[in-house]
Structure 1
């Protein structure tokens, strides 16, 4: 199929398809006598794998190493353990990100509470110092707790 049809069926732009081709994520298209790219039908499935993996948080380099026919172990027999290991690593990264986001959310809500329920009548500079001092105290407590845990 030509690049325009592949773009339409995959939902990706022709420029993205050309990029994936030049990056080695999809096989090089054959060129017709007219110079048009002609991609095999399997390219659509490969693109679905690529876009699904990107939505799951994989980088293009990580995807390249996991796709069959690319550099890396993907073409080898028994490739499932490598894919499973990559997925476990990605789950770990997501869990770490969730933890950092939850910590940030708690800190931001504490700042909001401090702003909304703090002493009345402070000018802007004094209130800013009060809030920043609270943040610094929290940072010191968190650093001490982290150091004690290690």
Structure 2
């Protein structure tokens, strides 16, 4: 039994996905999706697979994947998913997110240290002197952090 491929125009595809037609055309121009065919009147027709491909693209972007990373991970129509390549790409993204989380945690700790330093300014100390005190604490903390990371290696 042969499955019917339903074709839809860009407006319907936009409604189904919540994406603007210009975004869909951008993805098409970028080679991430393809229209089934272009009619004599210039209209593009998309098959039902375009909906899930667009959902995959938007979900991957929300997860932090670049368009180039998405392009490498999406299956080519004829070949299907490249299992090892897909898993490798997903694992690399998880590692990238973990590194970003570590960096954000360090940035947050530094900002909290600055806030604490400003809020705990000794009575009568000038702001200029307090800023020097806070900067010195930051430098010390950075040296200690580097030493801790070096010891962890």
Q: TM bucket by the smaller chain? A: 0.7 to 0.9
Mapping of residues 62-81 of structure 1, within 5 Å: 62-69=69-76, 75=79, 79-81=82-84
1:55 maps to: 62
Question: Which of the numbers 8, 17, 22 marks the counterpart of 2:24?
Answer: 17
Range with greater deviation from structure 2 (135-144 or 13-22): 135-144
- Secondary structure of 1:75's partner? coil
Question: Which of the numbers 102, 106, 111 marks the counterpart of 1:103?
Answer: 106
Structure 1 gaps of 5+ residues are none
Question: How many residues are matched?
Answer: 146
Mapping of residues 111-150 of structure 1, within 5 Å: 111-150=114-153
Supply the distance in 2 between the matched residues of 1:140 and 1:64 (Cα, whole angstroms). Answer: 41
Supply the distance in 2 between the matched residues of 1:149 and 1:5 (Cα, whole angstroms). Answer: 54
Supply the distance in 1 between the matched residues of 2:151 and 2:75 (Cα, whole angstroms). Answer: 46
RMSD: 2.0
Supply the distance in 1 between the matched residues of 2:141 and 2:23 (Cα, whole angstroms). Answer: 45
TM-score normalized with structure 2 length: 0.84
Q: Of the two structures, which has the highest relative contact order with CA contacts closer than 8 Å and spacing of 6 or more?
A: 2
